[in-house]
Amino acid sequence: RGLGRLLGPRLRPGRVEAMAGMRPLIICVLVVFVWLLIGTIVYKVADNCSTDTSCSATGQLVETEVCGWTFGESYYYSVQTGLSIGFGLLPETEPGSRLYTVFHILAGSSFIGGALALFVTLAITRHRARHDRTEKLLTQYCQKVHVDGYKGFTLEELRGLVRTHPRFYRDMLELVEDDPNVVERRLAEFKAMKPGEKNKAADDLITEAHGKVDSLKGGRLTIDDLENLNKQERKLSFKVKSYVIENWSFVLVWSLWFFWMLIGTIYGLVAEKWTFIQSVYFAVSTCSTAGLQGVTRESFAVLFAGTYSLVGVPLHAAALGTFANLIVDRYNSKVFDEKLAAKVETAEITFVEHINENHAGKDFIDQTEFIEVQLLKLGKVDRDLLKQLRDQFKDLDKEGSGMVKKDIVIETD
């Protein structure tokens, strides 16, 4: 959150990129839709037969062969077969239908898996892009006022930042106000002020926050301080809100998962008249593709089961994926710290000296070489990539001075 909201409605540099990133997902969803539609049509015309058992007027059981599935049954079978759930409610009797099912299952696993992987990738990319856009905005402001934000803003420069980006004014308000309604009211009043009044309001707020924000007490704030400002000294409600926004993909996916389990449970209780445990059993086993509890062969039941499975299976996988990712991230963070503290191997030093001919055989390494060695040790880059980067720099350094002009490598905003 925090300075990610510095962008007003007019300034959304990531919006175009986000829309472009959504295009593959939309295409993938359309392909899945076509796959389901084709499966539904094939199963509708395949004329599979099943035996329907009923009770006659005399009390005897009568078996009747019923051929052909309804549209709802065909849709249901297309989903539950393609997602490898296998409720077992409808049997296939036609060889052609069975042959198509083989390809339907293979295609379904690929498309659903691809769509889910793309969704998770986009979620992670968007989450990281927020931080990147925040830092980019701050550096743009620094360039505009000719300030080195990484060394720190003075209080005067900070006032200009607050005045220029009112949404940062909100972040500081939340440090000094307990009531969210008061925060919204003061923010609205600030936006309605004239420039001179905004200067005074910004000064008053900075003074008010001065005693509560440790980084303000030093008289200067760096870009890192500003990015982390919204994490300091917050009340519980603001901290919870901040945590939710920072971990929005995890919270969103698991909230949707619990909601979807609730929908399945309510269906079992109301439509099928199952017990609570049996209803939960249906919801979880369906979304996990175990398929241990089938529904009745009624139009609404098969339509609901098909749609419930279509949404629930990838949602369940996404929830498990985000949870596993949380565990893996913590483990990787621990391994990263251990690797960072470990000494460098001789082979890595030798390779870095090889691509930096000027320092070969010397008893010291400079800062650039140290960073290269650490990146190698941490597995963030490989030797080929380092060599390619060195070669690229040499191509840009036409004069062999060891430096290149900024405008050659820095994109102009």
Per residue in 205-223, is it b (16+ CB within 10 Å) or e — as a string? bbeebeeebebbeeeebbb
Q: Please name the amino acid found at residue 312.
A: G
Residue 51, phi then psi, degrees to nearest 5: -100, 125
Rounded CA-CA distance 87/218 in Å is 66
Neighbours of 328 (CB within 10 A): 10
Cα 65–chain centre separation: 50
DSSP 343: P
15-128 against 246-332: fold identical: yes
Output the CA angle 361-367-369, nearest 5 degrees: 45
Residue 58, phi then psi, degrees to nearest 5: -90, 0
What does the block give as tokens for 279?
């209803």
**In this predicted structure, what is the pLDDT of residue 8?**
37
Q: Please name the amino acid found at residue 376.
A: L
Rounded CA-CA distance 151/45 in Å is 71
- DSSP assignment of 58-113 equals TS-EEEEEEES--HHHHHHHHHHHHTT----SS----HHHHHHHHHHHHHHHHHHH
Nearest CA to 72 out of 91, 96, 90 is that of: 90
**In this predicted structure, what is the pLDDT of residue 72?**
92
Neighbours of 314 (CB within 10 A): 19
Rounded CA-CA distance 241/281 in Å is 33
All residues at 6 or more sequence positions from 154 whose CB lies less than 8 Å from its CB, including other chains: 219, 220
Partnered with residue 52 across adjacent β-strands are 64
Residue 47, phi then psi, degrees to nearest 5: 65, 45
Rounded CA-CA distance 248/258 in Å is 15
All residues at 6 or more sequence positions from 84 whose CB lies less than 8 Å from its CB, including other chains: 105, 108, 109, 289
Q: Would you give per-residue pLDDT tens digits along the chain (413 residues)?
A: 333 333 333 334 444 454 555 677 677 778 888 888 999 999 999 989 877 776 767 777 777 778 889 999 999 999 988 888 888 888 888 999 999 999 998 888 777 666 666 665 565 555 554 545 555 666 666 666 566 655 656 666 777 777 777 767 777 777 777 777 888 888 888 888 887 888 888 878 777 776 666 555 555 555 555 555 544 444 555 556 666 666 777 888 889 999 999 999 999 999 999 999 999 999 999 999 888 898 988 889 999 999 999 889 888 888 888 887 778 777 777 776 676 666 666 666 666 666 566 555 566 777 777 777 778 777 777 778 888 888 888 888 888 787 888 777 766 55
**In this predicted structure, what is the pLDDT of residue 270?**
95
Q: Are the C-beta atoms of residues 267 and 273 closer than 8 Å to each other?
A: no
Give CATH for domain 15-128.
Answer: 1.10.287.70
Cα 156–chain centre separation: 37
Nearest CA to 36 out of 284, 321, 311 is that of: 311
Q: Is the dihedral of CA 41, 47, 50, 54 positive or negative?
A: positive
Fold of 246-332: Helix Hairpins (1.10.287)
- DSSP assignment of 207-269 equals HHHHTT-HHHHTSEE-HHHHHTGGGSS--HHHHHHHHHHHTHHHHHHHHHHHHHHHHHHHHHH
Rounded CA-CA distance 252/244 in Å is 9
- The helix (H) or strand (E) run that includes residue 311 is helix 299-341
Q: Where do the structural domains in the chain lie, given as residue ranges? A: 15-128, 146-239, 246-332, 342-411
In total, the chain counts a number of residues equal to: 413
Rounded CA-CA distance 354/357 in Å is 6
